[in-house]
Amino acid sequence: MVTEQSPNSAEKLKKNAISPTRDENFPEWYQQVIKAADLADNSPVRGCMVIRPWGYAIWELIQKYLDAMFKASGHKNAYFPLFIPLKYFEKEAEHVEGFAKECAIVTHTRLQPDGKGGLKPTSALDEPLIVRPTSETIIGEMFSKWVQSYRDLPIKINQWANVVRWEMRPRMFLRTTEFLWQEGHTVHATDEEAQKEALDILECYRTFAENYMAIPVICGKKSESEKFPGAVSTFALEAMMQDGKALQAGTSHFLGQNFAKSSHIKFTNENGHEEFGWTTSWGMTTRLVGGLIMTHSDDDGLILPPRIAPTQIIILPIYREDSKQQVLEYCKALQAELSQTFLEGEKLRIEIDDRNIRGGEKSWEWIKKGVPMRIEVGLRDIQSGSVCVYRRDKLPKDKEFIPHMQFIPSAADMLADIQAVLFKRAQKYREEKSKYINSQGEFIEFFKQKNPGFAYAHWCGSNAIEDKMKSELGITIRCLPFAETSPGPCIFTGSPSKQKVIWARSY
pLDDT tens for 473-482 read: 999 999 999 9
CA proximity to 281, closest of 135, 462, 95: 135
| Domain boundaries for CATH 3.40.50.800 within the chain | 304-423
Confirm whether pTM is higher than 0.85: yes
The pLDDT assigned to 99 comes to 79
| Domain boundaries for CATH 3.30.930.10 within the chain | 26-296
The CATH homologous superfamily for domain 434-504 is: C-terminal domain of ProRS (3.30.110.30)
The CATH number assigned to the domain with range 26-296 reads 3.30.930.10
* CA dihedral angle for residue 20, residue 390, residue 210, residue 246, rounded to 10 degrees: -10
Angular region, 453: left φ>0, alpha ψ -120 to 50, beta rest? left
Dist. CA 382–CA 4, nearest whole Å: 13
How far from each other are the two terminal CA atoms of the chain, in whole angstroms? 46
Dist. CA 106–CA 127, nearest whole Å: 9
Residues of the chain with pLDDT under 70: 1-15, 93-96
Dist. CA 226–CA 234, nearest whole Å: 8
Burial class (CB in 10 A: 0-12, 13-18, 19+), 385: exposed
The pLDDT assigned to 93 comes to 67
CA proximity to 329, closest of 349, 352, 347, 346: 352
The pLDDT assigned to 16 comes to 83
SS3 content of the chain, % helix, strand, coil (to 5): 35, 30, 35
Mark out the alpha helices in 25-135 (DSSP H runs): 26-36, 53-72, 86-90, 93-99
| Domain boundaries for CATH 3.30.110.30 within the chain | 434-504
The CATH number assigned to the domain with range 304-423 reads 3.40.50.800
